[in-house]
């Protein structure tokens, strides 16, 4: 049923695009990286790792990719800058939406999310953005562009309501804004104190339709060192899966992205983690029966 085995395709399988329910868009982009670079190599490393991964999910009892997954060629960085990159991503995601398929973006820089959300906004799709991240990303502008990875959630909030979890690094201005506007930002401290209560509060804020953006730096650097701006005190693997599952259950997830994988040569565990996370999220959000 699955297409021919091939590297550069998620899980080494390829369903023809016109039969796929999910289209994976790998985007090699890190133009706005401010500290560690190399996120442009993230998509290739994730896809390579996914080739060695067991596609059957032993907890779920099925193979998430059986729903039909098509991986596009890796989109290369557009040198003309962040705004052009956001436009390109919006176009690619829009094409997937117009075919009635679910877009999954692999980054690359977190600013890709702005383009993805714009595609939904342009089509009048209403949704809530669920962000899992160490950073609030609420800066209006950063290093001369409003399309920086540090501005993702500022742009997202112009389009959609947002729920932010796992946050443990904010600027003074971001801190003030979160307080004064009473934004739905759940710091990691609260996730640790009482995750059931945080999940209940977040569920009440999420609508029935969700777009999820996962910045890998939400995880602890001990298991995810391969990211541009690692922050200590992050989630463990099982904690992240618990939140993803709790917050998406019963909701329609119309798309998601996994960003900021910046592979470390010779250290393949983070690449494998990222690949496995995509498979897990697919399994949680789209059961084979629809
Ligand atoms: Mn981040």
Phi, psi dihedral angles at 102 (to 5 degrees): -100, 125
Structure confidence at residue 13 (pLDDT) = 94
Distance 250 CA to ligand 1 centre (A): 27
Q: What does the buried/exposed string (b/e) look like for 133-161 if buried means 16 or more CB atoms within 10 Å of the residue's CB?
A: bbbbbbbeebeebbbbbbbbbbbbbebbe
**Cis bond leading into 48, ω under 30°?**
no
In whole angstroms, give the CA distance from residue 102 to residue 156. 19
Distance 90 CA to ligand 1 centre (A): 21
Structure confidence at residue 76 (pLDDT) = 84
Domains and CATH numbers, the chain: 10-285 (3.40.800.10)
How many C-beta atoms surround the C-beta of residue 271 within 10 A? 23
Phi, psi dihedral angles at 114 (to 5 degrees): -60, -45
Contacts of 258 (CB under 8 A, 6+ apart): 46, 104, 105, 106, 107, 214, 216, 274, 277, 278, 281
Distance 6 CA to ligand 1 centre (A): 31
Greatest pairwise CA separation for the chain in angstroms: 54
In whole angstroms, give the CA distance from residue 57 to residue 161. 32
Distance 178 CA to ligand 1 centre (A): 16
Distance 114 CA to ligand 1 centre (A): 14
Distance 3 CA to ligand 1 centre (A): 35
pLDDT digits (tens, 9 = 90+) for 169-182: 999 999 999 999 99
Distance 133 CA to ligand 1 centre (A): 5
Contact 216, 260 (CB under 8 A): yes
Structure confidence at residue 127 (pLDDT) = 98
CA angle at residue 95 from 91 to 97, to 5 degrees? 115
Would the pTM of this model clear 0.85, i.e. be above it? yes
Distance 134 CA to ligand 1 centre (A): 5
Q: What does the buried/exposed string (b/e) look like for 65-86 if buried means 16 or more CB atoms within 10 Å of the residue's CB?
A: bbbbbbbbebbebbeeebeebb
In whole angstroms, give the CA distance from residue 144 to residue 194. 39
Residues of the chain short of pLDDT 50, as ranges, are 1-5, 288, 290
Distance 275 CA to ligand 1 centre (A): 18
CA 164 to centroid of chain Cα atoms: 13
- Residue among 74, 38, 69 nearest 53 (CA): 69
Distance 257 CA to ligand 1 centre (A): 13
Distance 39 CA to ligand 1 centre (A): 12
Structure confidence at residue 287 (pLDDT) = 57
Distance 254 CA to ligand 1 centre (A): 22
Distance 137 CA to ligand 1 centre (A): 7
Distance 285 CA to ligand 1 centre (A): 22
Q: In what order do the strands lie in the sheet with 22-26?
A: 69-71, 22-26, 102-106, 252-259, 209-215, 128-132, 162-167, 185-187
pLDDT digits (tens, 9 = 90+) for 128-169: 999 999 999 999 999 899 999 999 999 999 999 999 999 999
Distance 131 CA to ligand 1 centre (A): 10
Structure confidence at residue 290 (pLDDT) = 46
In whole angstroms, give the CA distance from residue 200 to residue 32. 35
Distance 211 CA to ligand 1 centre (A): 17
Tokens of residue 186, six digits: 């759940």
Distance 280 CA to ligand 1 centre (A): 20
Distance 135 CA to ligand 1 centre (A): 4
């Amino acid at each position: 049923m699955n297409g021919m085995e091939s590297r550069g395709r998620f899980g080494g399988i390829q369903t023809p695009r016109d039969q796929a329910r999910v289209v994976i868009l790998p985007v090699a982009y890190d133009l706005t990286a401010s500290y560690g670079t190399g996120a442009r190599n993230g998509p290739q490393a994730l896809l390579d790792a996914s080739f060695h991964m067991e596609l059957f999910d032993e907890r779920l009892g099925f193979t998430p990719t059986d729903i039909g997954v098509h991986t596009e060629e890796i989109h290369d960085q557009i040198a003309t800058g962040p705004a052009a990159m956001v436009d390109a991503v919006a176009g690619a995601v829009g094409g997937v939406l117009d075919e009635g398929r679910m877009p999954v973006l692999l980054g690359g820089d977190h600013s890709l999310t702005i383009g993805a959300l714009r595609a939904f906004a342009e089509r009048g799709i209403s949704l809530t953005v669920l962000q899992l991240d160490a950073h609030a990303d609420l800066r209006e502008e950063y290093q001369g562009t409003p399309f920086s990875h540090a501005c993702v959630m500022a742009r997202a909030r112009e389009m959609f309501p947002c729920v932010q979890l796992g946050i443990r690094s904010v600027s003074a201005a971001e801190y003030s804004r979160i307080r004064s506007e009473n934004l739905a930002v759940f710091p990691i401290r609260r996730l640790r104190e009482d995750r059931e209560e945080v999940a209940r509060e977040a569920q009440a804020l999420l609508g029935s339709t969700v777009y999820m953006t996962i910045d890998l730096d939400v995880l602890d650097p001990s298991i995810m060192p391969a990211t541009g701006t690692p922050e200590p005190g992050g989630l463990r693997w099982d904690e992240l899966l618990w939140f993803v599952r709790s917050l998406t259950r019963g909701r329609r997830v119309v798309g998601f992205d996994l960003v900021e994988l910046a592979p470390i040569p010779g250290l393949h565990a983070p690449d494998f983690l990222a690949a496995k996370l995509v498979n897990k999220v697919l399994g949680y959000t789209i059961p084979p029966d629809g």
